[in-house]
Structure 1
Amino acid sequence: MSDKHLSTQFDAELSGISTRVLEMGGLVESQVAQALYALTQFSGEAANQVIAEEERVNAMEIDIDRALSTIIARRQPTARDLRLLIAISKTINNLERVGDEAARIARTVLRLISTGVSTRLPVSDVSFEGNLAIEQLRKALDAFARLDVNKALEVMKQDDQIDQEFDGLMRMLITYMMEDPRTISASIDLVFVAKAIERVGDHAKNLAEQIIYIVKGADVRHLPMANVESYIK
């Protein structure tokens, strides 16, 4: 078998894996959106649908991970191809955790429905934070599909916005609890939801860091933004 034929097969395998990663990403993005819908509408049905998808996400992670191990063992890739496979492994791990956060939100919604929640609580503000996180995740997946380091950098820069929303929500919920102790239980549940959403944003940022690693070969985790930008230029 010629080297060219082997290379073509390898490229097809890499393309197939990348497609499956994007399918997994689309599923967890949908999970987060459905969890937010469950929160704003207090829909137990929507929450249960999110939880039901958790096993499917876990199965996709295992399936892709197994395919990655097979490719690495058989092809023994080097340089950028190896970086891509390592980054994909980290990417699917982050996506699985996004699915976990969506399921965590859904379970909290079910608890809120069963115990009751004050209409005074800032559910719409939590939803706003959630929509920011979904948009970040969508941008990160688009950047992965295109291996677009500039869009990945944009995702990393915007992560602070979600953190700021989270901090604002914490102050707001503390105020509600101090003013009306009857809201304490539901407010704490909303704290858990807001924290889960913040983690979704963190995972989107992690995806963006992996894209830069694939394209530039630079590990930009924990680096100041100015240093990250220097790798992009």
Structure 2
Amino acid sequence: MNQNTYMNKYPYDAFISYATEDEEYAKKLAEALQYRGFSVWFAPLSLEIGDRLLDSINVGINSSMCGVLLLSPAYLSKKWTGYEMDLLHRQHIEEGKRLLPLYHGTTKEEVDKWNPGLSGIIALNSIASISEIATKISKVISHNSPIVGVTPCYENPQWRFLQGRGELLVNSTDGLAFNIFEAAEFPDNHFPIYIYGTCYSRKDIIISLTKVMFYKSHDKDSVDSEQWKRLLKLCKEFGYDIEASHFDAATLE
């Protein structure tokens, strides 16, 4: 199979198979890979309410270009992780899917005894830092490409909204559009506003707005002069006097 065809076949770059006891470590690894521009199927980030776990796991494995096996003592003791590993290993044999074993408090001897089928696959060890491990996995996923194109933060809708450069929609994909300037003037019963996994109080929005107005990072067509005056007053009411000579938005939390 052509390398590009193989890569384009899968919406996820990696599936992380782990035991529940190792979720904290697995999450850090998933975030490190995402930081490097890779899409990761990791249960807490990928599952939605109402999803059937087994069906979702199967879809995640089938939709991922490679499988990362977090081989801890807990992993080796569970039937569920054994199921995931067996499915990934079969795809490794039949389809050429990459398997990336990661010893996490285990040894090669223990893993080989548990599953001899993994004995011929070079593994990583969590003795190394997560950054080092993520970098090595990244090289495998990218076929050692010298450059990995990573979507910049300014293409993120949340970032654009909070910078005064974009809009979000109310409650659905056909909802009314609003920007941060309009959100700041929403009535109290419209808060908190849930945006990409985070609840923003009115004060949170005002703090972000204050930074936008102070640094003038916004699209100039997003707000007219009258609204700008109202918002200056609103920020001041919250204790953020942007026009004061001593004011520094960099100190805002």
TM norm structure 1: 0.27
Higher relative contact order (CA 8 A, sep 6+): 1
> Who wins on radius of gyration, i.e. which is larger?
2
Bigger proportion of residues as strand? 2
Bigger proportion of residues as helix? 1
